[in-house]
Amino acid sequence: MPSIDEINPQGLPMDDENHLKKSTVRKSSIPTMSINNTRKIKQTLPIGSIFYVDVAYIPYHGNEHYVDSEFFRRIRARYYILNAVEINRLTLESLIDGKQQWDKQEQIPVTLVPTYDGDQLRQFFVMNKTRLAELNINIIPASTRCNVQYDDEGSPAQRLRFSDEQ
């Protein structure tokens, strides 16, 4: 099993202190309109921008307190890199929930690239094989199972190919 230093080379905070802080309640920033001074209707505005990228790194090792379906709804990538030893089932469910919210014409193939393999990932794949196929979500073998050889040295890695074709 790799150490924390090996999976967190940038030294990003991994503790859950941010989600334990008491959150303050904010009033809605959606303006209200008055109709005939008798009832108010909230005007619906799109929440957040949508970003299209080739590769997205799933933040905080897929911690469900930082990554939810909204992340996958807004960050639309061909490849999602998940660097986590213990892969959270809620993060994987969020990928499916977020991609279900994409428009039909935006249903491009998506590939999840885990860096480590685990029972949670295998269980999730078996239990959700049909849903993953319907949404065109592929899960490739973990990079720890793949090896790239350079001269006399080898390294666990994954090769991603980018092309203009979709």
pLDDT in tens, 105-163: 878 899 999 888 888 888 999 999 999 999 999 998 876 666 677 778 777 666 666 66
Residues 6+ apart with CB under 8 A from 58: 67, 71, 80, 81, 82, 83, 84, 91
Three-state SS at 108: coil
For residues 76-105, give the mean pLDDT: 90
Residue 27 and residue 40: Cα distance in Å, rounded?
A: 16
Q: Cβ distance 75 to 105 under 8 Å?
A: no
Going across the sheet that includes 51-57, the strands are: 51-57, 75-82, 110-114, 137-139
Domain boundaries, the chain: 50-160
For residue 95, the one-letter residue type is L
Q: Is the pLDDT of residue 61 over 70?
A: yes
Rounded Cα gap, residues 65 and 16, in angstroms: 8
Average pLDDT over residues 18-38: 45
**0.75 cut: is pTM over it?**
no
Question: Are residues 35 and 43 in contact, defined by beta-carbon separation less than 8 angstroms?
Answer: no
Rounded alpha-carbon distances, angstroms, from residue 115 to 4, 9, 128:
14, 13, 20
For 154, the enclosing helix (H) or strand (E) is strand 153-156
Do 157 and 146 meet the contact criterion of CB atoms below 8 Å apart? Answer: yes
Predicted pLDDT of residue 157? 65
